[in-house]
Amino acid sequence: MTSKKARNSLVIVSLVFVAFLVFALARDIHLNGIHIYTLGAIAPDLALPGGAMVPIRIILEVDGMSIFMGIIWATVSLAAAIFSLSHMARETGQTRFYTLLLLMVAGCFGMILTGDLFNLFVFLEIASISGAALIAFRTRFADAVEGGFKYIVISAVAGLMFLFAVGLLYGQYNSLNIGYLANVMQYGTLDMIALTLFLISLTIKTGMVPLHMWYPDSYTVAPANITAMLVITSHACMYAVFRICFTLYGITLDATTVGWIIIIIGLLTMFVGVTMAVFQTDVMRFMSYHAISQMGYMWMGVGVGLAVLGNPEALATYGRDAISGGIFHILNHAMYKPLLFMTAGALFHRTGTRDLNKMGGLGHNMKFTLILYIIGTLSIAGIPPLNGFASKFLIYESVYQFNPVLAVVAMLVSIITLASFTKAFQSAFTGPQLPEYKDVKEVPKPMLIGMGILAAGIIFTSIFPGLIVERIVKPATDALINQAAYVNGIMGGMP
Amino acid sequence: MMEYIPLNFPFLAAALLVGISFYILIFKRNLIKLIMGIGMLASGVNLFLVALGYRAGGNAPIYTDVPEGPMVLPVPQALTLTSIVINVAVLALMLTMVILIYRHTGSLDSEKSRKMKG
């Protein structure tokens, strides 16, 4: 018993420590700019030893965008780990569960902090392998194993396509470093093929619409805390897309075409995701389709910014705001979507079913869960005082100037989102108390604390949206747009 | 003998492997065959990486008893080794999951063992 407590506190303490380090690093980056760390060098910032022209060692490079994703990961993984203390308490093999959970955190931190393409692939695979094992963790359910199998197959194919593209770039430029490659990028035919492979593989991994089939299947069956972490794994893959489009290819890219491709994928994702969600009766599946739909907003916002990357005037008027809106929406989505998945997990924890038609009247006994669900719902639907509104408004406003049709579709999707969440709310929480759920109790404290951390984040962001945008969203946007700063971080003062 | 083999022969082989594996991934319904397809895809990509590392006239970077001439930078070989290790882990995990799926559903047909729709 004591060893279990020691293990659990070790997990929580290490995640708190990681969060502390991330915030310290964020402060440092805010003050001093881009940080690099060269693995195995005499001095950490020695990217080009002895006047070499090409960086040979693996270099970690952290700028505003990376640390923005780092803050998300630190917060949400801590909340998910606290939530799992009770949610997984009935399972066997918990030591392995926490090992895999920490491995997944390590994999995704690697993805967002690295400045090396092959290293990105390795960490992508680490996150995929541990993620698949965690999805299938409750092996007594047949569908859990099936969801895990789908995830690992999709991840393996996507990962190998990514590796192929990395090979193509290495064959031409003899380097794997993103900063160096950005410096010498020609955008020839092979580079276009590599870009296509990168985009397809990461679109699969993110779960955007033409390739989203695995997404609801895997997310539904995973334990709710793991689903929360899978949501932000998707964000980490999305970060890789943005890093590749903006930093690796940057201005050499045919910005209008690629930007429109990303906008159209985003638009499709938004619309198909929400229309599929309306028909679902499984609460986790319902939320998975909403998670797909919300990711469309981010791609649309950032895609608009990418489409006007070559046009400084349009970029200054609305492009920068569109990217900020998309990135701000990542932060908001990373708080309310895990919160909603966790409330769904709380319902499953107490009722043992995921079917909305079988639930009812749970609001009588699960009052805190009810309040947390309402916060999440209002936030996802973009109701004015909450943070979902702040980012969606930023997207509507800037996208409208680019193309009004896009903004109209985005608003329509938001309305359908609210409608379907109201329906789910009504069938799970309201109504008379059902006889079979008469003795249902509120979920244990650790689950409430895990959800509470995210709800507190939502409320903080809702009260101070200006502060968040100025301090962490705008630096992330500038880090994406300013390719030269990233290149300089590696290449120093070299021509 | 070497000069009779065209230099891009390994690349063609890699492309063929990738093509066959995509055919398997799309059209085969047996889960074990699916896993074999992923194994072939991995081999194709690894072959591509190793073929990239070949430089005509270069020496292997082994510092004992080295002949005259330039050495190659062994990055693609290092990449391939890492990739092989990762794929071992992926394939092992997939096979364990297939065993569990077979225990639950009694079938390896991807259409019959599907529980989730919609």
Tell me the residue length of chain B: 118
Amino acid present at A244: I
Q: Which residues of A touch B83 (CB under 8 A)?
A: 163
B113 to A156: CB separation less than 8 angstroms, yes or no: no
pLDDT band at B114 (very low <50, low <70, confident <90, very high): low
Instruction: Kindly state the tokens that stand for A170.
Output: 């290495």
Q: Which residues of B touch A217 (CB under 8 A)?
A: 116
Q: Find, in chain A, the residue whose alpha carbon is nearest to that of B35.
A: A153
Quick one: which of B80, B73, B29 has its CA closest to B54?
A: B73
Kindly report the number of other CB atoms within 10 A of residue B109's CB atom.
Answer: 11
CA distance A315 to chain B (A): 39
Quick one: which of A230, A210, A224, A209 has its CA closest to A294?
A: A209
- Write the DSSP assignment of A328-352 as a string of letters: HHHHHHHHHHHHHHHHHHHHHHHHS
Give CA A371 to chain center in angstroms.
24
Q: What is the ipTM of this complex?
A: 0.91
Q: Judge whether residue A494 has pLDDT over 60.
A: no
Instruction: Kindly state the tokens that stand for A1.
Output: 């018993």
pLDDT of the residue at A155: 93
Amino acid present at A419: A
The average pLDDT across A267-285 equals 88
Give CA B62 to chain center in angstroms.
26
Integer Cα distance of B30 and A21 in angstroms: 47
Region class of A47: left (phi > 0), else alpha (psi between -120 and 50), else beta = alpha
Burial of A344 (0-12, 13-18, 19+ CB in 10 A): buried
C-alpha dist (Å) from residue A372 to A414, A447, A464: 20, 11, 20
CA distance B20 to chain A (A): 14
Q: Does residue B117 fall inside a structural domain?
A: no
Q: Which of A54, A100, A138, A153 to substitute to test the interface with B, most B CBs within 10 Å?
A: A153
Q: Does residue B88 fall inside a structural domain?
A: yes
Contact A148, B29 (CB under 8 A): no
Which residues span the domain enclosing B38?
A: 9-56+71-105
Q: Which residues of B touch A129 (CB under 8 A)?
A: 86, 89-90, 93
Contact A358, A373 (CB under 8 A): no
Q: Which of A139, A140, A163, A285 to substitute to test the interface with B, most B CBs within 10 Å?
A: A163
The average pLDDT across A230-247 equals 91
pLDDT of the residue at A48: 75
Q: Which of B97, B100, B101, B110 to substitute to test the interface with A, most A CBs within 10 Å?
A: B97
| Nearest beta carbon to residue A129 from set B41, B45, B89 | B89
DSSP-derived 3-state class of residue A35: strand
Q: Find, in chain A, the residue whose alpha carbon is nearest to that of B11.
A: A168
Q: Which residues of A touch B93 (CB under 8 A)?
A: 129, 132-133, 152
Q: Does residue B36 fall inside a structural domain?
A: yes
**Least confident window among A163-172, A326-335, A428-437:** A428-437
pLDDT of the residue at B113: 61
Q: Judge whether residue A162 has pLDDT over 60.
A: yes
Name every residue whose Cβ is closer than 8 Å to that of residue A208 and which is 6 or more positions away in sequence: A265, A266, A268, A269, A292, A295, A296, A299
Integer Cα distance of A280 and A258 in angstroms: 33
Quick one: which of A39, A5, A1, A37 has its CA closest to A21?
A: A37
Question: Does A251 or A288 have the greater pLDDT score?
Answer: A288
pLDDT tens digits, one per residue of B52-93: 887 777 777 777 877 777 788 888 888 999 999 999 999 999
The average pLDDT across A104-110 equals 93
Contact A346, A369 (CB under 8 A): yes
Structural domains counted in chain B: 1
Question: Does B14 or A254 have the greater pLDDT score?
Answer: B14
> How many residue contacts between A and B have a Cβ separation below 8 Å?
93
The average pLDDT across A275-293 equals 88
Integer Cα distance of A56 and A34 in angstroms: 19
Name every residue whose Cβ is closer than 8 Å to that of residue A89 and which is 6 or more positions away in sequence: none
Contact A149, A31 (CB under 8 A): no
**Least confident window among A47-51, A134-138, A299-303:** A47-51
- Write the DSSP assignment of A56-92 as a string of letters: -S-EEEE-HHHHHHHHHHHHHHHHHHHHHHHHTTTSS
The average pLDDT across A327-332 equals 92
A149 to B76: CB separation less than 8 angstroms, yes or no: no
pLDDT band at B118 (very low <50, low <70, confident <90, very high): very low
Name every residue whose Cβ is closer than 8 Å to that of residue A373 and which is 6 or more positions away in sequence: A340, A343, A425, A428, A429
The CATH number linked to B14 is 1.10.287
Give CA A6 to chain center in angstroms.
30
Integer Cα distance of A96 and A151 in angstroms: 19
Contact B8, B47 (CB under 8 A): no
| Dihedrals phi, psi of A89, to nearest 5 degrees | -60, -25
The average pLDDT across A478-483 equals 86
pLDDT of the residue at A495: 38
Q: Find, in chain B, the residue whose alpha carbon is nearest to that of A161.
A: B45
End-to-end CA distance of chain B: 58
DSSP-derived 3-state class of residue A37: strand
What does the mean pLDDT of chain B come to?
84
Question: Does B65 or A113 have the greater pLDDT score?
Answer: A113
Integer Cα distance of A176 and A248 in angstroms: 11
DSSP A114: B
Provide the angle, in degrees to the nearest 10, between the axes of the packed helices A320-351 and A474-481: 120
CA distance B2 to chain A (A): 22
Contact A78, A456 (CB under 8 A): no
pLDDT tens digits, one per residue of A357-378: 888 778 778 888 888 888 888 8
Contact A253, A194 (CB under 8 A): no
pLDDT of the residue at B1: 47
Quick one: which of A306, A450, A432, A304 has its CA closest to A369?
A: A450
- Dihedral over Cα of A81, A84, A89, A94: its sign: negative
B93 to A152: CB separation less than 8 angstroms, yes or no: yes
Question: Does B97 or B66 have the greater pLDDT score?
Answer: B97
Give the gyration radius of chain B's Cα atoms: 20
A146 to B75: CB separation less than 8 angstroms, yes or no: no
**Least confident window among A108-122, B2-16, B66-80, B89-103:** B2-16
pLDDT of the residue at A481: 87
The average pLDDT across A9-38 equals 90
**Domains of chain A by residue range:** 1-251, 254-463
Kindly report the number of other CB atoms within 10 A of residue A24's CB atom.
Answer: 10
Q: For chain A, give the percent of residues with pLDDT over 90.
A: 33
Integer Cα distance of A468 and A403 in angstroms: 27
pLDDT tens digits, one per residue of A182-232: 888 888 888 899 999 999 999 999 988 888 888 888 898 888 899 999 999
Q: Judge whether residue A236 has pLDDT over 50.
A: yes
Contact A394, A325 (CB under 8 A): yes
CA distance A97 to chain B (A): 15
What does the mean pLDDT of chain A come to?
87
End-to-end CA distance of chain A: 61
| Nearest beta carbon to residue A153 from set B34, B45, B75 | B34
B49 to A167: CB separation less than 8 angstroms, yes or no: yes
Kindly report the number of other CB atoms within 10 A of residue A44's CB atom.
Answer: 14
Q: Judge whether residue A164 has pLDDT over 90.
A: yes
Q: Which of A145, A181, A286 to substitute to test the interface with B, most B CBs within 10 Å?
A: A145
Provide the angle, in degrees to the nearest 10, between the axes of the packed helices A142-173 and A189-206: 160
B100 to A145: CB separation less than 8 angstroms, yes or no: yes
Kindly report the number of other CB atoms within 10 A of residue A151's CB atom.
Answer: 28
The residues with which A38 forms a beta bridge, in sequence order, are A59
- Write the DSSP assignment of A304-332 as a string of letters: HHHHTTT-HHHIIIIIHHHHHHHHHHHHH
